[in-house]
Amino acid sequence: MTTQAGSSLTAIVLAAGQGTRMKSTKPKVLHPLCGRPMVDYAIEAALAAGCGDVVVVVGYGRDELAAHLTKAFGDRVRTAVQQAQRGTGDAVRSALPTLDPSAERVLVLCGDTPLLDPAELVRLAGSIEGGAPLAMLTAMTEDPTGYGRVLRDAEGKILAVREHRDATEEERRVREVNTGVYVARASFLRESVAGLLPNNAQGELYLTDIVAVAAKAGGVASVQAESASALVGVNERAQLAAAEDILYGRIADRIRRAGATVRATARIDATVVVEPDAVIEHYVVLRGKTRVGANARIDVGSVLTDVEVAPSALVKPYSIASDSTIGENAQIGPFSHLRPESRIEAEAHIGNFVETKKTVVRRGAKANHLAYLGDGDIGEGANIGAGTIFCNYDGFKKHRTEIGAGAFIGSDTQIIAPVRIGVGAYVATGTTITRDVPDDALAIARLKQENKEGYASKLKARLKASVTKKPSGG
């Protein structure tokens, strides 16, 4: 568990930019990674590091972003508006009036850095205990192109940060880069940000300029991050994909440490819960609020979204389910489709090419092949034969089908709802059901078979002649 840095720590999360390189109308920080908008990860890192107050600076798409933050974090997060995007210094300046007057230290980070480690934020916050007005997180990288360089004197003290486009050729050879993560004493941050000027190629207010101010006012403390890749900001789609791959790996490792098996190619959202001894096979995708119970197995290629899988259930390969529940020791698939509001109870079977929608399949009931079961209630131990269809839609509204416990539905049966088939009833193969079937009754509705002796050869000859006959000329 991360050791928190203390409630006196406040966070400012910079999230006002559009992110034009994403080529999207969506605010950059709302682009999802592993089922959550990327800004959530930066906020969660700040909260885990002990921030008692988090202020998110919004600008482009601010209504959409603010609505998300309220839904996701409630009153743990507040917003401040940057009216025009005039640089990181201006963004922080927009947030300062909203800070609690009791704030002692302020953590500043970017909403497009989803890989931050809370433990490093704690170390950073602790590094200014000695009296420095500012501390910054730095990283060493083989290719520092595009990053602000950390400039030090001969004794190793930080003097300033120079943005790449403003740096000299000599400065660009520096491999230590600024990650955009700072902790400052609140009083210093207010004074230094108030004095920022747009003296740069972009004509913006750079927050990095406060580093030089701090160097002259007590020095700059620094913490070097263990991994530069974990601090990369997401500015375009390739970086988004790369960050998501790292997050998927972290999620899988966390689940493995808790006692479950996760194959390397599985993709599990950050919001998913997997209990011990569950097995998640290759190419499985688990999304949303999915929960996989102990000893359950999700086999190759299955995709589950907001699905509750009970302990010891088996989801066979290439099954798809959403907004549904799967009971203990139930079996699903292969190639099954559970549409929303399907409830498959304990020990029930849904087999290959069976589709359910808004249907309860009660304990021990089976539909093993080729069926559509919509708007139904299938009783315990009932058997649904191959090719069965619940005809639930009349073109205007949906109707319910009820099948009693222990009923047997023969193959190729069409059940035209609304209708009830009683307990222990038997529906013969090829039947079309249009009215209720009482308990323990046999329902059969098919044309009488007629055999015409010797007629097959005559029919074949006639059909052959019609194919080979030449068209008449004209």
Buried b / exposed e along 90-109 (16+ C-beta atoms within 10 A) = bbbbbbbeebeeebebbbbb
> What beta strand segments (E) does 346-443 contain?
349-357, 360-361, 366-374, 376-378, 383-384, 389-391, 401-403, 408-409, 414-416, 419-421, 426-427, 432-433, 442-443
Backbone angles phi, psi at 126, to 5 degrees: -75, -20
Buried b / exposed e along 407-442 (16+ C-beta atoms within 10 A) = bbbbbbbebbbebbbbbbbbbeebbebeeebeeeee
31, 150, 192, 204 from 201: Cα distances, Å: 29, 18, 20, 8
Among 395, 393, 397, which residue's Cα sits nearest to residue 414? 393
Residues near 359 by beta carbon (within 8 Å), at least 6 away in sequence: 341, 342, 343, 373, 374, 375, 376, 377, 378, 390
Rg (CA), the chain: 32
> Which is catalytic among the residues 164, 337, 349, 369?
369
Give the separation between CA 93 and CA 194, rounded to whole angstroms: 7
Give the separation between CA 263 and CA 256, rounded to whole angstroms: 10
- 369 catalytic per annotation: yes
188 exposure class (CB count in 10 Å sphere: 0-12, 13-18, 19+) = buried
Collapse the DSSP code of 301 into the 3-class scheme (helix H, G, I; strand E, B; otherwise coil) and give the result. Answer: coil
Give the separation between CA 348 and CA 470, rounded to whole angstroms: 59
Provide the annotated active-site residues: 369
